[in-house]
Amino acid sequence: MAVNGMYFLDCGVLTCDKTFITYKQGFGELVDIPVVPVLIDTDDGYVLFDTGVDPAGLILPDEVWGVKQSFIKQFTEENDIRVQLKKVGVSPQDIKYVVNSHFHWDHTGGNRFFDHSTIFVQKSEFRFGYYPDSAFEGSYIKRYFDHPLNYKLIEGDYEVVKGVYITTSTGHTPGHQSLVVHLQNECAVLAGDAVYGKECIEKNIPPGNSWDLSRGIESLNKLQHIAKRNNGHLYVTHDPNFWKEYKPAPFCYKQNARLIEHTEK
């Protein structure tokens, strides 16, 4: 009963105004941010944290991506979640559990491929995804998640398998959740969009496009506290410099990922 390793999946690059990352700081400055779902290999099956950008947009960009095309800086067939999983010999049918950090379009684009999986989402996020407040509806593309999938709606923290548990981190969206992964000698806190950049940790600032700024700050503090208490570390996958620090799949992080101790599967 243990976590065997963790893989960072390269699912493209978005570009946005820096104020998306750091609330009210950096107007007019464009930054490139990676999209990085995370695969966790455990004795109890594979767990996938988020499903990335919808690859069908490569063929039908106007219909699938629509106005979001302006955010997509780089996305090729290589960045398809299925191709990324294949790099480690895994297919969507092998994924036992999917955890959606939230229902924004760059985290749910591949949801429909996981019709064999149990998909965990907070009930509050599920509700909001279908009926978002008008100021936030642009971030939700209903047809990405509106499929007859095995959604398991949860309210609060939840243990997915031994060593992998969901913890709520609301603020960016009403039902945002993060994933805590107990590697061999490290507690990896996968922040999702509760933390957009390392700069947000240093300056204690929430994501720019927060649904609730105060709760965003609380979640930022909560996640840092979980990491600190467990002698762990926060992983900020949208950080513009993420790929300077970490290696994409097929590299497998078996323990302290910060030390780039990796082995190929």
- Write down the least CB distance from residue 14 to Zn ion, Å: 8
Instruction: Return the structure tokens found at 126.
Output: 């599920």
Minimum CB distance to Zn ion smaller for 125 or for 193: 193
Pick 42 or 100: Cβ nearer Zn ion: 100
Q: Among 13, 12, 14, 7, which Cα is nearest to 87's?
A: 7
Q: CB-wise, 13 or 183, nearer to Zn ion?
A: 13
Q: Is 106 in the site for Zn ion (CB under 5 A)?
A: yes
Taking residue 23's Cβ as centre, other Cβ atoms within 10 Å add up to 19
Q: How far are the Cα atoms of 5, 245, 254 from residue 161, in angstroms, in the given order?
A: 14, 28, 17
As measured in angstroms, the least distance from the Cβ of 13 to Zn ion is 12
The minimum distance between CB 53 and Zn ion, in angstroms, equals 10
Element (H, E) at 144: helix 142-145
d(Cα 262, Cα 123) in Å, to the nearest integer? 36
Q: What is the dihedral of CA 33, 168, 64, 67, to 10 degrees?
A: -60
Pick from 80, 193, 199, 239: which binds Zn ion (CB under 5 A)?
A: 193
User: Does residue number 50 form part of the binding site for Zn ion (CB under 5 A)?
Assistant: no
Q: Which residue, among 176, 160, 44, 171, has the nearest Cα to 121 in the 3D structure?
A: 176
Q: For the chain, give percent helix, strand, coil, nearest 5.
A: 35, 25, 40
CB of 46 to Zn ion, least distance (A): 22
Residue list 53-82, contact with Zn ion (CB under 5 A): none
Of 12 and 92, nearer to Zn ion (C-beta) is: 12
For Zn ion, which stretch binds (CB under 5 A), given 56-64, 186-194, 207-215, 220-228?
A: 186-194
- Which range, of 99-107, 149-157, 158-166, 248-256, touches Zn ion by CB under 5 A? 99-107
Residue 38 or 183: the one with the smaller Cβ distance to Zn ion is: 38
Nearer to Zn ion among residue 94 and residue 243 (C-beta)? 243
Could you list the residues that contact Zn ion (CB under 5 A)?
106, 193
